[in-house]
Structure 1
Amino acid sequence: MAAPTLSAADAEKLNSLKSSVAALPQISENEKNGFINLIARFLSGEAQHVDWSKIQTPTDEVVVPYDTLKPAPHDPAETKKLLDKLVVLKLNGGLGTTMGCTGPKSVIEVRNGLTFLDLIVIQIENLNKQYGCNVPLLLMNSFNTHDDTQKIVEKYSGANVEIHTFNQSQYPRLVVEDFSPLPSKGVTGKDGWYPPGHGDVFPSLRNSGKLDLLLSQGKEYVFIANSDNLGAVVDLKILNHLVHNKNEYCMEVTPKTMADVKGGTLISYEGRVQLLEIAQVPDEHVNEFKSIEKFKIFNTNNLWANLKAIKRLVEADALKMEIIPNPKEVEGIKVLQLETAAGAAIRFFDNAIGNNVPRSRFLPVKATSDLLLVQSDLYTLEDGFVIRNKARTNPANPSIELGPEFKKVGNFLNRFKSIPSIVELDSLKVTGDVWFGANITLKGKVTIVAKPGAKLEIPDGAVLENKEINGPEDI
């Protein structure tokens, strides 16, 4: 790969940054090099400009429809052989702060007192027991979640799952004003640093030594997914397809709804499959990008990759994923963090494909409105799997909007004596100081708005169907 070309001023900036970073004792040489490479690429203006006229809709060979995949082998011995090639990796670097929780997001209770992590361990344990295989679980932590996760993982020491943890890179935040690392400005705590996005999973797998360890155990594929996506479970049909067709990379995509219009999509571009993110779209084409007609699918961030291919590409420094600049402010100082996304790596792998999977494989919990869905009678829990209730005839989930009073998990749980029945709900919008009793049923379109300064209680056993409620008299 050619080194990025820099102007004299930028080269000086980079050299000065290099010597400041060299003096930071908190991070490894690999991390220092990775950070400087990222900054050099950023300074060179190496942006991925997409020529709109060259974009093509991928064919079914490139984005394979899920229902055309061959069934997984019926013979349990063949299934065991297949699963013994697999590793499951969950992205576990996120904190539950947006939902008002401390510590890793993966330890938020989802259902029946079980956390995301509990469910992941139960699922893999059941696979290992059923087929006598050894599918290990890897957790990629960030420096924000590492210590807590180490303690939490101890509780699974008796489980039939080999659990590995490793940290993704820790990079210094960059002070915009003078292009110096924030930690050298005296911000020595966690605020001086950031994890550079999940695109970092590939170099971090190698730098941690885990990649070579897994290859030495005969592992061939890694299934990477967000720890908060309850639909991201091991799928034998997909694994079987990749092994037989020697696909080095597979991104699971699913049909777009109006809720997903900003999600990245797959395109065919100059003979390769590529991820197109909204940030890369020229302004005049943004509406076209958001339309469901032209770009019908979006990236679920369930990704499958061949471990040997990861090793080859990382060692050749060939994974030049698009850089995502993320401006922040820390203690009144404007800083920049440069990040990359794992999905953008698709164009560097040989024989890469998308797989157009059912929506059930995308069930992320990003907010308490999602928690309401998965804790309700819309789902049940079987062997660690969150299964959708067949009694719901509408393939789409209800749209739920809860006001700021419900944003934190603690407040959300306090405001419901029990989670309402929502199997026949189309949409729910709640605004203001609203409290729910037990055994409530919601159907159709329900809007509940408490008047400013007034507390509105929905009584036990209430059945609300296609109603707009502004006070007790409307119930």
Structure 2
Amino acid sequence: MADAKLAKLREAVTGLGQISDKEKSGFISLVSRYLSGTEEHIEWPKIHTPTDEVVVPYDTIAAPPEDLAATKALLDKLAVLKLNGGLGTTMGCTGPKSVIEVRNGFTFLDLIVLQIESLNKKYGSNVPLLLMNSFNTHEDTLKIVEKYAKSSIDIHTFNQSQYPRVVADEFLPWPSKGKTDKEGWYPPGHGDIFPALMNSGKLDLLLSQGKEYVFIANSDNLGAIVDMKILNHLIQKKNEYCMEVTPKTLADVKGGTLISYEGRVQLLEIAQVPDAHVDEFKSIEKFKIFNTNNLWVNLKAIKRLVEADALKMEIIPNPKEVEGVKVLQLETAAGAAIRFFDHAIGINVPRSRFLPVKATSDLQLVQSDLYTVVDGFVTRNSARKDPSNPSIELGPEFKKVGCFLGRFKTIPSIVELDSLKVSGDVWFGSGIVLKGKVTITAKPGVKLEIPDGKVLENKVINGPEDF
């Protein structure tokens, strides 16, 4: 049955003129693995907590010598790659998420470019920036990077693969059934980064320039900056792959974690966990760390493994309904590649290296007095004594960036805030200070305005009478 399905699908894919032969073979290979049912299943008793040799505490890593020439030599071995395939649709934006304004008129991309420019200027190095786009973000990104034409850094863009969505009931590519617009296709997850680097020619280009490592991170993670300690450690210890992990809080229970499994370090995602052990996986007692998706990978090792077709990461089936049609997307994650590299490690980094902006509540954090931006680097305010950030929950009225910005005259001070919950038609004046636990709920049909200069500490606000 599976063989007949695959043969029919293969024949249909052959006729798709919109994608390259390499994309076709990559897609067929993924589907073939999925249909074969040979995906390895995690045996729970074999899971062990990694030792400090496998997940290295950041504090134990030696700092490289503070020498200009030595630092330049290190940086000249590095390229920075940002995952830029995502759209800002969940935050009500059109186009690549990386062009959402984060602070002071600067977008994610502006900050990334500023960071690398300041590094290169300080040390006389030549760290290039690569952006991996999807077909959704490619054209917009090409226009956006024109603004950096006079920048001193080399910016390269390339596309990850474009695979056809599969119509679930017939198991055929949707484009072969007449769905030829963008909705018929999908980008197959960031695990595709390794073949995409190779297929685009960027991998060989970097190797020809003497680059040895690539630092990969999500473009919306403002904490993912170049770290000389980590780079120096990997070069000294000859680690081919490093995943930055950080201590898990109750907000991170769904994040993948590192385990030792049959003698190798491996990523464990919630989708791989047997139902009986999901609560155990989500606990922060047994699984204390999670994957930040900041990855450092040796370029020669990527070339060796891609050429050998050895990167068989776990397949993530992603069923969707698009325009009333049930479709299937098969995806992979870059973190799952860790088990295929030699001397792979995790490094348990400070929480400051994980500052993603996934929603407007995250945007409120980074736009507030909790952070400052210098040379593109986002730095936390030392006046905040609590190592964790305030918990912020904003109602649906704040979901889209435009609506969110319109509801604040200025972003409130939150250095001493523990938690904020806002629901209903709430509007904030300027110069507001929030401290402790604050809950603001507007009654249905009522517009609730917080006056300029108000200090709210440990308050529950349901109307003007509560100020």
User: Scaled by the length of structure 2, what TM-score is found?
Assistant: 1.00
Q: Secondary structure at the match of 1:127?
A: helix
Question: Following the alignment from structure 2 to structure 1, what is the Cα–Cα distance between the partners of residues 108 and 42?
Answer: 37
Alignment partner for residue 199 of structure 1, among 188, 191, 196?
A: 191
Opposite residue 196 of structure 1, the aligned amino acid is P
- Tell me whether 1:431 sits opposite 2:423 in the alignment: yes
Matches within 5 A, 1:240-255: 240-255=232-247
Question: Following the alignment from structure 1 to structure 2, what is the Cα–Cα distance between the partners of residues 73 and 174?
Answer: 53
Opposite residue 100 of structure 2, the aligned amino acid is I
Question: Following the alignment from structure 1 to structure 2, what is the Cα–Cα distance between the partners of residues 317 and 241?
Answer: 28
Question: Following the alignment from structure 2 to structure 1, what is the Cα–Cα distance between the partners of residues 326 and 447?
Answer: 41
- Tell me whether 1:350 sits opposite 2:331 in the alignment: no
Question: Following the alignment from structure 2 to structure 1, what is the Cα–Cα distance between the partners of residues 40 and 169?
Answer: 25
On the 8 A contact 1:198/1:340 being kept in 2, the answer is yes
Which residue of structure 1 lines up, in the alignment, with residue 312 of structure 2?
Answer: 320
Opposite residue 453 of structure 1, the aligned amino acid is G
On the 8 A contact 1:432/1:449 being kept in 2, the answer is yes
Question: Following the alignment from structure 1 to structure 2, what is the Cα–Cα distance between the partners of residues 166 and 72?
Answer: 32
Aligned residues: 467
Q: 1:47: Cα distance to partner?
A: 2.3
Which residue of structure 1 lines up, in the alignment, with residue 367 of structure 2?
Answer: 375
My pick for the range that moved more, 87-96 or 184-193, is 184-193
For 1:157-176, what per-residue CA distance to the aligned partner results, in whole angstroms no more than 9, with x for missing partners? 11111000000000000000
Which residue of structure 2 lines up, in the alignment, with residue 394 of structure 1?
Answer: 386
Matches within 5 A, 1:289-308: 289-308=281-300
Question: Following the alignment from structure 1 to structure 2, what is the Cα–Cα distance between the partners of residues 73 and 142?
Answer: 39
Question: Following the alignment from structure 1 to structure 2, what is the Cα–Cα distance between the partners of residues 43 and 205?
Answer: 26
Question: Following the alignment from structure 2 to structure 1, what is the Cα–Cα distance between the partners of residues 111 and 40?
Answer: 38
Question: Following the alignment from structure 1 to structure 2, what is the Cα–Cα distance between the partners of residues 320 and 12?
Answer: 23
- Tell me whether 1:364 sits opposite 2:356 in the alignment: yes
Which residue of structure 2 lines up, in the alignment, with residue 180 of structure 1?
Answer: 172
- Tell me whether 1:144 sits opposite 2:136 in the alignment: yes
Which residue of structure 2 lines up, in the alignment, with residue 409 of structure 1?
Answer: 401
Q: Secondary structure at the match of 2:408?
A: coil
Opposite residue 168 of structure 1, the aligned amino acid is Q
Q: 1:229: Cα distance to partner?
A: 0.0
Opposite residue 324 of structure 2, the aligned amino acid is G
Which residue of structure 1 lines up, in the alignment, with residue 261 of structure 2?
Answer: 269
- Tell me whether 1:336 sits opposite 2:333 in the alignment: no
Alignment partner for residue 226 of structure 1, among 211, 218, 223?
A: 218
Q: Secondary structure at the match of 1:411?
A: helix
Which residue of structure 1 lines up, in the alignment, with residue 433 of structure 2?
Answer: 441
Q: Which consecutive residues of structure 1, in runs of 5 or more, have no partner in the other structure?
A: 1-8
Which residue of structure 1 lines up, in the alignment, with residue 56 of structure 2?
Answer: 64
Opposite residue 239 of structure 1, the aligned amino acid is L
User: Scaled by the length of structure 1, what TM-score is found?
Assistant: 0.98
Alignment partner for residue 112 of structure 1, among 81, 104, 107?
A: 104
For 1:175-225, what per-residue CA distance to the aligned partner results, in whole angstroms no more than 9, with x for missing partners? 001111111111111000000000000000000000011111111000000
Opposite residue 288 of structure 1, the aligned amino acid is E
Q: 1:72: Cα distance to partner?
A: 1.9
Question: Following the alignment from structure 1 to structure 2, what is the Cα–Cα distance between the partners of residues 24 and 282?
Answer: 38
For 1:12-60, what per-residue CA distance to the aligned partner results, in whole angstroms no more than 9, with x for missing partners? 1111111111111100000000000000000011223111111111000
Which residue of structure 2 lines up, in the alignment, with residue 238 of structure 1?
Answer: 230
Between the aligned residues of both structures, percent identity stands at: 80
Which residue of structure 2 lines up, in the alignment, with residue 422 of structure 1?
Answer: 414
- Tell me whether 1:95 sits opposite 2:90 in the alignment: no
Which residue of structure 1 lines up, in the alignment, with residue 251 of structure 2?
Answer: 259
Q: 1:383: Cα distance to partner?
A: 1.0
Question: Following the alignment from structure 2 to structure 1, what is the Cα–Cα distance between the partners of residues 3 and 39?
Answer: 18
For 1:368-403, what per-residue CA distance to the aligned partner results, in whole angstroms no more than 9, with x for missing partners? 000000000000011110100000000000000000
- Deviant stretches of 4+, over 2 Å: none
On the 8 A contact 1:48/1:280 being kept in 2, the answer is no
For 1:331-354, what per-residue CA distance to the aligned partner results, in whole angstroms no more than 9, with x for missing partners? 211000000000000000000000
